């Protein structure tokens, strides 16, 4: 009897929510599948866009997986893992963000019936990891290198990769135009890895075809003072001085105190202030520079002074733009005007101020180091230009990756179908439960071509049967066949130049498998009670502390 009356052991704080076991695992899988369903329709050239309206009233129209995942503000702890893999895919490769979320959700969906039937999740995880390794090896085996080609051939091949990325974006109608622009921009920065050397400036108005690439730096005209219009707006081979100092007349601080015995001394103090600024301006002029840019303000006195001497100046230039001018023109940003030598000055072939739509742009072209480029985007609505910028970012990342890892694989679901076939064949050589799990992994990979068909309005079952038949051919000639978005049938993706860098697919399979395994390995969720009670306790403790531990009416003894 005594043993039956043992007190209950309380480990966790009262109000702590714990859920564990099979039900918890299935709940996590359902949450991730729901996230996958949100972005499912955005996949491929015929993918739909999402309009996201946040609490601040700003509207975003996008079909970029990473952008949608960021803006969704997901609160489910397991589903947040999918947001993280979309972000990592975006920062590492740039494209394939929808693919990675979709694959992870599909792997979990295929695992769900096994979990419900009582299979231990560790068995699934082991098989999924094996399947992932085999899939990545197969991608590497199927990849085709574009190394060793001439520069012109390589440009053409890279443009094909960029066009494949852009075909699923809002600007797909002009993908050839933008693909060439992106390849030129990436080639301009050469081996440099810094993405900020390619600037994208947005100017509302005009149409997409009015967008242009500047082989150098372009930025919007900064705030200017009187006298600015008298300055020359075009120079050939000018010297460029880059500063990080203010060229303004500075009065004394309010709390400065100067005691004078003679009123005439006051004038000498005022003159000293003017002499300081004039001394700075003289040194800038003596350096021989014809274009003066500063990150801080250039005041009205300095603007007029430079105008009188046929020098162009711009103050409050964004730090990013100033750094890009320094990289392109070969100058160094100065924090003092003393001892300005020729080595710290930059130069370019042509500097001019140009009207673009309703904005005026300062454009530096023909820079000697040439390690920078600027794309000026035009378009109707602001949301449209924002989405165009995100699309170009993806294309730039893809081209950079293709330059570094110069292997490509066929797109349009062709590579997914081939890996799926390979894993199905491999699974039959395995005895035991693992055969079923690897087979389900192979089936999950078919989600890519199936979703491409669904989004384009084709009969997915019919197209997938044709693809399975083509990929099952012993000769291996069907390995490059994928979904033909234009006709609703199947076609050789490689021959149609639907290419993507192998690194995109490798990264997507890796990240999606890791995320699926991570979610399958969680069998308990512990949620701490709301912090309101904790805040209440803290407030009570503070109250007791202030009162020194005595009640209000208690008499002192």
Contact 169, 391 (CB under 8 A): yes
CA 315, CA 295: separation in Å to the nearest integer? 6
228: CB partners within 8 A, 6+ apart: 303, 307
Distance CA(110)–CA(116), nearest Å, equals: 11
Of 102, 95, 124, residue with least CA distance to 32: 102
Task: Tell me the torsion sign for CA atoms 379, 383, 387, 393.
Answer: positive
The DSSP secondary structure of 13-25, one letter per residue, reads: -TT-EEEESHHHH
Of 90, 215, 321, 394, which one is the catalytic site residue?
394
Q: Sheet of 144-145: strands edge to edge?
A: 144-145, 407-410, 499-501
Q: Answer for the pair 487, 440: CB distance below 8 angstroms, yes or no.
A: no
> Which tokens is 211 given?
């967008």
Range 321-326, long-range pairs (CB < 8 A, 24+ positions): 321/199, 321/217, 321/219, 322/242, 322/244, 322/293, 322/295, 323/196, 324/196, 324/197, 324/199, 324/217, 324/372, 324/374, 325/217, 325/240, 325/242, 325/293, 325/364, 326/242
Long-range contacts of 14-19 (CB under 8 A, 24+ apart): 14/529, 15/529, 15/530, 15/533, 16/526, 16/527, 16/528, 16/529, 17/526, 17/527, 17/529, 18/524, 18/525, 18/526, 18/527, 19/524, 19/525
**98 is a catalytic site residue:** yes
Q: Which residues pair with 347 in a beta bridge?
A: 239
* Given 97, 165, 347, 374, the catalytic residue: 97
Asked if residue 309 lies in contact with residue 292, where contact means CB atoms within 8 angstroms, the answer is no
> Which residue in 42, 64, 454, 492 is the catalytic one?
64
Between helix 121-142 and helix 414-427 the angle, nearest 10°, is 130
Sequence-ordered list of residues with C-beta below 8 angstroms from that of 49, at least 6 positions apart, any chain? 42, 61, 62, 63, 170, 387
The active-site residue out of 42, 60, 98, 99 is: 98
Structure-token pair, residue 374:
């600027």
The encoded tokens of residue 29 equal 């899988």
**Is 310 annotated as catalytic?**
no
Helices 121-142 and 97-116: angle between axes, nearest 10 degrees: 140
Q: Is 537 a catalytic residue?
A: no
- Give CA–CA dist 71/280, Å, rounded: 48
- CB count, 10 Å around CB of 384? 17
85 close to 104: Cβ distance less than 8 angstroms: yes
Q: Is 54 designated active site?
A: no
- Give yes or no for a contact between 242 and 322, defined as CB atoms under 8 angstroms apart: yes
Looking at the annotation, which residues are catalytic?
64, 97-98, 394
């Amino acid at each position: 009897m005594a043993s039956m009356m043992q007190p209950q052991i309380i480990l966790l704080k009262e109000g702590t929510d714990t859920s564990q076991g099979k039900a918890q695992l299935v709940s996590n899988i359902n949450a991730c599948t729901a996230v996958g369903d949100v972005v499912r329709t955005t996949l491929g050239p015929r993918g739909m866009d999402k309009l996201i309206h946040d609490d601040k009233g700003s509207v975003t129209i996008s079909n970029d997986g990473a952008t949608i995942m960021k803006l969704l503000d997901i609160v489910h702890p397991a589903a947040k893992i999918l947001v993280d893999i979309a972000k990592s895919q975006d920062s590492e490769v740039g494209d394939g963000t929808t693919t990675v979320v979709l694959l992870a959700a599909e792997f979990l969906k295929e695992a769900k019936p096994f979990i419900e039937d009582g299979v231990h999740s560790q068995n699934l995880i082991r098989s999924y990891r094996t399947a992932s390794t085999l899939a990545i090896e197969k991608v590497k085996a199927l990849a085709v290198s574009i190394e060793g080609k001439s520069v012109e051939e390589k440009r053409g091949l890279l443009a094909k990769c960029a066009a494949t990325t852009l075909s699923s974006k809002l600007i797909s109608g002009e993908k050839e135009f933008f693909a060439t622009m992106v390849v030129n921009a990436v080639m301009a920065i050469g081996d440099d890895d810094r993405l900020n050397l390619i600037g994208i400036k947005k100017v509302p108005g005009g149409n997409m075809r009015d967008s242009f690439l500047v082989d150098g730096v372009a930025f919007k005209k900064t705030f200017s003072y009187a006298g600015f219009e008298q300055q020359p707006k075009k120079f050939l081979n000018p010297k460029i001085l880059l500063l990080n100092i203010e060229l303004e007349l500075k009065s004394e601080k309010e709390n400065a105190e100067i005691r004078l015995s003679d009123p005439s001394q006051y004038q000498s103090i005022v003159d000293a202030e003017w002499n300081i600024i004039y001394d700075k301006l003289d040194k800038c002029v003596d350096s021989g520079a014809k274009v003066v840019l500063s990150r801080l303000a250039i005041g009205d006195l300095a603007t007029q002074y430079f105008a009188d001497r046929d020098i162009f100046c711009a103050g409050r230039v964004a730090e990013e733009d100033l750094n890009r001018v320094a990289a392109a023109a070969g100058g160094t940003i100065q924090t003092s005007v003393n001892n300005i030598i020729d080595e710290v000055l930059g130069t370019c072939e042509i500097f001019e101020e140009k009207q673009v739509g309703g904005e005026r742009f300062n454009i530096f072209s023909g820079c000697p180091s040439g390690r920078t480029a600027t794309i000026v985007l035009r378009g109707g609505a602001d949301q449209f230009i924002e989405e165009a910028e995100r699309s170009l970012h993806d294309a730039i990342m893809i081209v950079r990756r293709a330059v570094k890892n110069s292997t490509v694989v066929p797109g349009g679901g062709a590579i997914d179908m081939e890996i799926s076939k390979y894993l199905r064949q491999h699974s039959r050589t395995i005895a035991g439960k693992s055969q079923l799990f690897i087979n389900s992994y192979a089936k999950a990979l078919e989600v890519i071509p199936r979703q491409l068909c669904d989004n384009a309005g084709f009969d997915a079952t019919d197209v997938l049967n044709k693809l399975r038949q083509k990929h099952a051919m012993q000769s291996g000639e069907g390995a490059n066949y994928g979904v033909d978005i234009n006709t609703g049938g199947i076609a050789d993706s490689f021959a149609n130049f639907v290419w993507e860098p192998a690194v995109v697919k490798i990264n997507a399979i890796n990240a999606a498998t890791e995320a699926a395994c991570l979610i399958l390995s969680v069998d308990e969720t512990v949620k701490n009670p709301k912090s309101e009670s904790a805040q209440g306790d803290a407030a009570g403790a503070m109250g007791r502390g202030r009162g020194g531990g005595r009640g209000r009416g208690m008499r002192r003894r």
